[in-house]
Amino acid sequence: MTLTVNAFSANKAGMTGLDKEKIQKIISSNTSSNFQEYSSKQIHRIEARIKRNNELLSRLSQEEIAKAESEMNLEAAHIEAERELTRVKVHIDMDAFFASVEMRDDPTLRSIPMGVGTDLMLGTSNYIARKFGVRAAMPGFMARKLCPELTIIKGDYLKYRKESSIIRKVFDEYDPNLESGGLDEVYMDITDYVAARKDPVSRKRIRYRGDCVCRLPLLSENDAINIVNEIRFRVEQISGLTCSAGIASNWMLAKICSDINKPNGQFRLADDKETIIEFMRTLPIRKVSGIGAVTEAILKGIGVEKCGDLFEKRGIIKLLFTELSWHWFLRVALGVSQRGASEETDNCLRHRKSISTERTFKPTIQLETLLDTIHFLCADLIESLAEGNILGGHVATLSIKFANFDRISRSQSANYRIDTVDNFYPMMERLLRKEMKRGLKIRLLGVRLSKLEFLEKETDATKRKSQKSLHEFLVPKKRLSASTTNEDSDDLFSDQFTIPPSEADSTEIPSTSSRSTIQCPICNQNFVYDENGKINSHIDECLNLEIINKMEETPSEAAIRPIKQAKSSSKSSTERYKAFNELLYC
DNA sequence: GGAAACCCT
DNA sequence: GGGAAGGGTTTCC
Ligand SMILES: Nc1ccn([C@H]2C[C@H](O)[C@@H](COP(=O)(O)OP(=O)(O)OP(=O)(O)O)O2)c(=O)n1
Ligand SMILES: [Mg+2]
Ligand SMILES: [Mg+2]
Ligand SMILES: [Mg+2]
């Protein structure tokens, strides 16, 4: 049996038609034996699972399988009865997000292959680099072998986070209850918006600063496709960044669709059962969010490669997997989202569940240095709590990665609130000392707080959506009504972008207005009405200035960075973190 | 409750 | 020579 575990999913956007053999060769020939052993261990584990599955399978009688299959048929009928085809679900995902931001801000990067990250790891790459096989989650040094010309930019996480909040204001207008999946993507339900928008809306151009591409004013139609085009267009105007969208009757499908015409494109999957089932029939399972490298390999081990196979093999699947899993697999196969009469009473806004920080460094066994490292990590984490209105946590976890890449975690609950270095560090120290007895070199340490307590302020910014679980992906949670969502008082664009769908943007000159002067909605400067071009370009500049100001509002020191070194306010910490800093790779 | 193995960006 | 960092859920004990 030859097992393939694809660490990288096949055919990522912008990576079709690549010489995968050649790329794989270059990757393997640059893999250290250390990492190779780690990968082999992973593969062996999966092989063992596949073998076990096959043994279980060989002991099953045809009757048992037939019975399971008919039970699945029943289940499928239930799912089918709940198939929801009337919602307009949209997934929007920024194109090469981190890389696009860097390209926007430095024109010299626009025409060359580049990646964002470090020599050790890339967070993403631009589409030029993808042609060489360079992609997210690939070490920078490997990427250089594939593409010697590659420029690697160290990212600025704070910048991306700010960018994320800027574009989200556009999405918010179309669905105030949108759910976020990471910095660069959102899940929306624009059914109500589409229904509410009766008349075409004309919007004036808002040019992003710099020499980005600008387009003419937009006059949008009112169907889903045009509205999503409009959303993407406005995102580009406000940010200078492109995105791609998927439109379908549920989020699982929409997410898959947003990748189809990436970059800067969109795809709509028709909302009828036949189209959906045919779409799923030939769709590689890995495309589904929630099916990763391991599940792909395990399913392949029982002959499942396409989502359609999940239905074909439903009998054995029911017998080999947990109920949650087989149920979800079945829904995936059918491409079904349900929206039953019984909705979860549960919320849709939720607090984050944990906060963590970790560092990779040159493997060491020196206790002092390691202790200083966790001291730094603890201090860093405690310091970052305020930003998220977190008071502290009741569970502290130490994460260790040994030189051979094996990872363990050790956690401890407390009946008091862990909220200072003084009541955090000692716990971590104790846990670390215990594990040091193994006498193994360590390459990463991390600390985490969970069971968090929050400073209860009614600001939505402190809350976040839960990650969609297998089940939730297909069964949407009940949404808050729009009226329960508060306006951010410090929202720069609150005047511009909270206008009901039927009205035009305030950046557009009201055609019904007979006033002879008009006020810039941002700086309140007055303009004579017929100086049309003048006010428009003024507002452009004003808006752009706002964005720039906002970016500069928080100094780069303030929050998360991709790689943070130990810096300190006091001399003693400078000394304390010295050895640790020297071991940091970046 | 704790730990590991998945998953996602 | 070198393989990240942040967050989540599910499963097993
Ligand atoms: N393993 C990963 C994957 C992603 N990211 C970061 C960098 C990406 O820019 C951003 C968004 O992830 P996407 O998966 O959406 O990838 P991109 O936006 O970069 O590219 P695409 O155009 O394929 O969406 O998250 C990361 O740090 N590490
Ligand atoms: Mg993206
Ligand atoms: Mg994304
Ligand atoms: Mg997947």
> Structural domains in chain A?
1-31+113-147 (3.40.1170.60), 34-82+278-347 (1.10.150.810), 89-94+158-271 (3.30.70.270), 352-466+487-585 (3.30.1490.100)
pLDDT band at A461 (very low <50, low <70, confident <90, very high): low
User: How much of chain A is helix, strand and coil, in % rounded to 5?
Assistant: 45, 15, 40
pLDDT reported for residue A211 = 52
Overall size of chain A counted in residues = 586
Q: Which residue is nearest to nucleotide B1 (CA to C1')?
A: A413
Residues 6+ apart with CB under 8 A from A143: A115, A122, A125, A129, A132, A134, A150, A152
Does the structure show a pLDDT above 50 at A12?
Answer: yes
A389-398 pLDDT, tens digit each: 999 999 999 9
Tell me which of A69, A185, A236, A296 is the catalytic residue: A185
Average pLDDT over residues A477-484: 32
Interface residues for strand B (CB within 7 Å) are A 42, 45-46, 49, 93, 97, 137, 181-185, 288-296, 395, 397, 407-413
* Range in A258-262, A324-328, A338-342 the model is least confident about: A338-342
Cα angle A254, A256, A261; round to 5: 95
Query: A96 — phi, psi (to 5°)?
Result: 40, 55
Average pLDDT over residues A332-346: 59
pLDDT reported for residue A181 = 94
Does the structure show a pLDDT above 60 at A293?
Answer: yes
How many Å lie between the centroid of ligand 1 and the Cα of residue A333?
A: 26
Average pLDDT along chain A: 83
Average pLDDT over residues A12-23: 94
Q: Integer distance in angstroms from CA A146 to C1' C2? A: 16
- Of residues A3 and A193, which shows the higher confidence score? A193
Query: A357 — phi, psi (to 5°)?
Result: -150, 145
pLDDT reported for residue A208 = 79
CA atoms within 13 A on the CB side of A517: 6
Does the structure show a pLDDT above 50 at A513?
Answer: no
| Sign of the alpha-carbon dihedral angle for A290, A135, A119, A163 | negative
Q: Integer distance in angstroms from CA A24 to C1' B7? A: 24
Average pLDDT over residues A20-46: 96
CB A100 within 8 A of CB A262: no
**Two structure tokens written together for A97:** 């997000």
Does the structure show a pLDDT above 60 at A16?
Answer: yes
Cα–chain center distance at A437: 38
Q: Is the CB of A156 under 6 A from ligand 1?
A: no
Amino acid at A521: P
Amino acid at A304: V
Which of A15, A94, A124 should be mutated for ligand 1, with most atoms under 8 A from CB?
A: A124
Does the structure show a pLDDT above 90 at A213?
Answer: no
Q: Is the CB of A13 under 6 A from ligand 1?
A: yes
pLDDT reported for residue A177 = 95
pLDDT reported for residue A408 = 98
Amino acid at A119: D
pLDDT reported for residue A484 = 31
Average pLDDT over residues A523-531: 39
Q: How many CB atoms neighbour CB A53 within 10 A? A: 18
Does the structure show a pLDDT above 80 at A188?
Answer: yes
A549-564 pLDDT, tens digit each: 433 333 333 333 334 4
Secondary structure (3-state) at A163: helix
**Two structure tokens written together for A357:** 């920080």
CB A248 within 8 A of CB A279: no
Check if A274 is active-site.
no
Q: At what angle do helices A273-281 and A323-334 cross, to 10 degrees?
A: 110
Which of A97, A163, A180 should be mutated for ligand 1, with most atoms under 8 A from CB?
A: A97
| Residues, CB within 5 angstroms of ligand 4 (ion) | A 286, 291
Does the structure show a pLDDT above 80 at A424?
Answer: yes
| Residues, CB within 5 angstroms of ligand 3 (ion) | A 93, 184-185
Confidence check on the interface: ipTM exceeds 0.90, yes or no: yes
Average pLDDT over residues A256-266: 98
pLDDT reported for residue A582 = 82
Q: Which residue is nearest to nucleotide C9 (CA to C1')?
A: A469
pLDDT reported for residue A584 = 87
Does the structure show a pLDDT above 60 at A495?
Answer: no
CB A143 within 8 A of CB A152: yes
Secondary structure (3-state) at A11: coil
Does the structure show a pLDDT above 90 at A527?
Answer: no
Nearest residue to A315 via CA among A554, A55, A76, A23: A76
Residues 6+ apart with CB under 8 A from A115: A99, A122, A123, A124, A125, A126, A129, A134, A138, A140, A143, A150, A151, A152, A153
pLDDT band at A474 (very low <50, low <70, confident <90, very high): low
A65-87 pLDDT, tens digit each: 999 999 999 999 999 999 999 99
Nucleotides on strand B lying under 7 Å from protein C-beta: 1-9
| Sign of the alpha-carbon dihedral angle for A99, A105, A107, A108 | negative
The whole-model pTM stands at 0.83
Q: Integer distance in angstroms from CA A531 to C1' B8? A: 50
Q: Is the CB of A493 under 6 A from ligand 1?
A: no
What string of DSSP letters covers A293-348? HHHHHHHHHTT--BHHHHHHTHHHHHHHS-HHHHHHHHHHHHT--B--SS---S-S
Cα angle A190, A80, A250; round to 5: 20
Nearest residue to A433 via CA among A461, A464, A453, A410: A410
* Range in A89-103, A228-242, A383-397, A476-490 the model is least confident about: A476-490
What string of DSSP letters covers A246-306? EEESSHHHHHHHTTTT-SS-EEE--SSHHHHHHHHHTSBGGGSTT--HHHHHHHHHTT--B
